[in-house]
Amino acid sequence: MVEGIFTIRNKLGLHARPAAAFVKKANEFNSSIWMEKDGTRVNAKSIMGILMLACPAGSQVKLTVEGNDEDIAIKELGSFIESGFNEL
């Protein structure tokens, strides 16, 4: 299991479009992936969970990844978040 804390950097935060892109990316991995914000943890492979977190710009989220491709998954998903979901 690997964990990492990442910052939402794009201006509009983690809204519907980047959430969809993120979930799509998360589903490319076999590992179980969880996203946590302020103590609420959701399955990062489901868009409803991610949307529920309603992360504004500047907020921090924790990713927890567990599975055979966890290292590559957290690296790619983490940098996707830090890159502002390619919206910067």
Q: Which residues are catalytic?
A: 15
Q: Is 83:22 a contact under the CB 8 Å cutoff?
A: no
The verdict on 83 binding other proteins (CB under 8 A) reads: no
Report which residue type is found at 12: L
Q: Compute the C-alpha angle 13/74/68, nearest 5°.
A: 145
In 1-88, where does DSSP find H-type helix?
A: 16-26, 47-53, 70-82
Give the interface segment with other proteins, choosing from 2-10, 41-49, 67-75, 78-86 (CB under 8 A).
41-49
Interface residue with other proteins among 3, 28, 40, 57 (CB under 8 A) is 40
What is the size of the binding site for other proteins (CB under 8 A)?
Answer: 14
The verdict on 12 binding other proteins (CB under 8 A) reads: no
Interface residues toward other proteins, by CB under 8 A: 16, 27, 40-43, 45-49, 51-52, 54
